[in-house]
Amino acid sequence: MIIPAIDLIDGKVVRLYQGDYAQKTEYTYDPIDVVKKYANGGAKWLHIVDLTGAKDVEKRQLELIKSMVDTGLMRFQAGGGIRRKKDVEQLLEAGVERVVIGSLAVKQPELVKNWIDTYGPNAIVLALDININANGDKMIATHGWQEDSGVKLEDLLADFAQVGVRHVLCTDISKDGTLKGSNVELYSELVKAFPNIHWQASGGIGQLTDISDLKPAKVSGVILGRALLEGKFTIEEAIACWQDA
**Cβ–Cβ under 8 Å, residues 207 and 232:** yes
| Cβ atoms of residues 64 and 33 within 8 Å | no
Distance of alpha carbon 39 from alpha carbon 32, whole angstroms = 11
**Could you say which of 87, 129, 172, 176 is catalytic?**
129
* Residue 50 among the catalytic residues: no
**At 153, phi and psi to the nearest 5?**
-55, -45
Q: What is the largest CA-CA distance in the chain?
A: 47
Looking at residue 222, its amino acid is: V
Q: Which helix (H) or strand (E) holds 51?
A: helix 51-55
DSSP assignment of 78-109 equals EESS--SHHHHHHHHHTT-SEEEE-THHHH-H
Residue 213 annotated to the active site: no
Angle between helices 62-69 and 31-40 (to 10 degrees): 30
Q: Tell me which of 7, 87, 172, 210 is the catalytic residue.
A: 7
11-to-5, 60, 66, 88, 108 alpha-carbon distances in Å:
15, 10, 12, 20, 29
* Distance set, CA 152 to CA 1, 6, 66 (Å): 27, 28, 35
* Coarse DSSP helix, strand, coil percentages of the chain, rounded to the nearest 5 percent: 40, 30, 30
Q: Which residues are catalytic, by number?
A: 7, 129
